[in-house]
Structure 1
Amino acid sequence: MMKPSSYSTMTIVICLIYSMSKWISTYSELLPNIGILPIAASLLRR
């Protein structure tokens, strides 16, 4: 049995992953891949 605290943490993590996947899919539809690559590169450099 998992503790309630670890269960709530897992729920938060799952919600974050779900929202991130929704965000990524939305932006990949809006922006072409050529537009995403420089943005990702600039974010990774920081």
Structure 2
Amino acid sequence: MRKKIILSCTECLSRNYSSYKNQSNQSERFEVRKFCKKCGSHTLHRETK
């Protein structure tokens, strides 16, 4: 089953992106480097609860 997740910047904590993940395959939090408009650079974005 695919679940919608929200990604937030680890630097400024703004919630910029949303994505989907397969819960049966990925049990830990999703992390990806993306561009943050507020910071103006590529930063690590993590899945929020």
TM-score, L = length of structure 2: 0.20
* Structure ID, larger Rg: 1
Structure with more of its chain in strand, by fraction:
2
Structure with more of its chain in helix, by fraction:
1
Bigger RCO of structures 1 and 2 (CA < 8 A, at least 6 apart)? 2
